[in-house]
A and B are shown apart, each in its own frame.
Chain A
């Protein structure tokens, strides 16, 4: 089996080969390290490559599996983490000159759990500075979209999306406070999950906004995302926001049929500004799911248009609070856009912040009402048009004329905490030829419903099997 055969295989297949000792973890890790070496100079997805450490762990995994100590479906499987997730003894930059030499003396809970399951960390991934900058400056410059290197992979988990699409890693960790997992998932044609707030511990993850932040799995298939979440989820004494909720067996959810599953389709607002080809792709995706037995239900989400304002107030206020000391001491080291947003965040009144949190309560209640009518909610995977990297502006100062505000179909899940999954559902006809995405949301802690519908869709389609023609 050649390295190019290996790198785009789903983890479900890799795990079968590893368990049966038809594939060595060392061979697998080497394949991805070689791929990183070959294509990352173009893609800029990886900040730190852990060649020596990863190969040592691969040898250890090989010994364990050979001696009958197989830990489970992630044993010997490489992964990489967005570089704001603390890894003990490994530089964790937050994509920022402010913390570019930080070496944590502790391990985040998510990486500790993946490591315990036998997964092998092979790199730390590029991101927008502190998960809130633009891609333009940053520590190593912007990650590129493997489908078209002149386009952005979106952010802030830009390196996670780009690395997966380019075949540099089979699994990745991202974080999402307003679409930062789901945007790159859509732009890069991979799968990203923002779990329910509290489903996954955030201990050791640099905050952007405590009440909007989520850590989540990213991969090329829904089944692989489910495998990751199985390991990552659950309560954590080191994070009081990690809920004491039982973690179901997600593998069994994958094989449940979607017959009778109610898909809520919201009215107009969320579809404003959606790319015409996206709209067609979403309709076709729904048709596929209806053919499989799902039913659609029209729903209205009241007051959703205020979600962006509430999210901005909460996010910028909390980020300004978190970075208060760093901003005072190292303002010049922040990217201009991040500095601008943090400084502007200090102008929100406490009453505005509290009002935004009260609006959150209203919207959470509204989502409870919506999910009485449907089991999952379908939304576009963002409303922004694909962005040329060169067109990304590193400031929030309005242009003339200012761009017309777009609806935001990502913030709804962050503000209310509901889980949300993005997966590929087509491609633009181009040029440029770029992935299109579909988003599903579900009730709190019902990630299983998302895996059920996502896996059914991927079993009936092949969008997730396509790979960019990025040459090494």
Chain B
């Protein structure tokens, strides 16, 4: 039952992301000042002109990124970096 509920929720979440809406409702879109802070924290220097170019691109990605964040994964699942075990 739990698994089914989880599946239903995740299907709805992914569906929302694919239709361009965030599952958790309307998220505030980060402005240029916020992006500058993130870029600086990541050690990247970008001009305000570049940040203005990137802002709509990043905002467009937001629903899909959020859907990925919201996707429930069991704690025992570790990341796979692409190397497929020889079995």
Whether A13 sits at the interface, judged by CB under 8 Å, is: no
Whether A287 sits at the interface, judged by CB under 8 Å, is: no
Binds B, one of A4-12, A251-259, A303-311: A303-311
Whether A149 sits at the interface, judged by CB under 8 Å, is: no
A297-345: which have CB < 8 Å to B?
302-303, 305-306, 308-310, 312-313, 340, 343-344
A313 / chain B contacts, CB cutoff of 8 Å? 65, 68
Is there an interface contact between A355 and B71, defined as CB atoms closer than 8 Å? Answer: yes
A456 to B32 Cα, complex, angstroms: 56
Cross-chain contact of B84 among A198, A340, A359 (Cβ < 8 A): A198
| Residues in A lying within 8 Å of B, measured CB to CB | 196-198, 210-212, 241, 243-245, 302-303, 305-306, 308-310, 312-313, 340, 343-344, 346-348, 352, 354-362, 364, 395-398, 402, 404-405, 407, 417, 444-445
A397 / chain B contacts, CB cutoff of 8 Å? 53, 56-57, 60
A417 to B57 Cα, complex, angstroms: 28
| Residues in B lying within 8 Å of A, measured CB to CB | 7, 10-11, 14-15, 17-20, 35, 38-39, 42, 44, 46, 50, 53-54, 56-58, 60-61, 64-65, 67-69, 71, 73, 77-84, 86
Is there an interface contact between A444 and B84, defined as CB atoms closer than 8 Å? Answer: yes
A360 / chain B contacts, CB cutoff of 8 Å? 79-80, 82
Is there an interface contact between A398 and B38, defined as CB atoms closer than 8 Å? Answer: no
Q: Could you jot down 26 A-B contacts, CB within 8 Å? A: A198-B84, A303-B14, A303-B71, A305-B14, A305-B17, A306-B17, A306-B67, A313-B65, A343-B50, A343-B54, A347-B42, A347-B58, A354-B79, A357-B79, A358-B77, A359-B68, A360-B80, A360-B82, A361-B78, A397-B56, A398-B57, A402-B20, A404-B19, A404-B20, A405-B19, A417-B82
Is there an interface contact between A309 and B73, defined as CB atoms closer than 8 Å? Answer: no
Is there an interface contact between B61 and A312, defined as CB atoms closer than 8 Å? Answer: yes
A212 to B81 Cα, complex, angstroms: 9
Would A396 and B17 be within 8 Å (CB), given that A346-B39, A358-B77 are in contact?
Answer: no
B79 / chain A contacts, CB cutoff of 8 Å? 354, 357-358, 360-361
Would A417 and B84 be within 8 Å (CB), given that A308-B64, A344-B57, A359-B71 are in contact?
Answer: yes
Write the chain A residue with the least CB distance to B7: A302
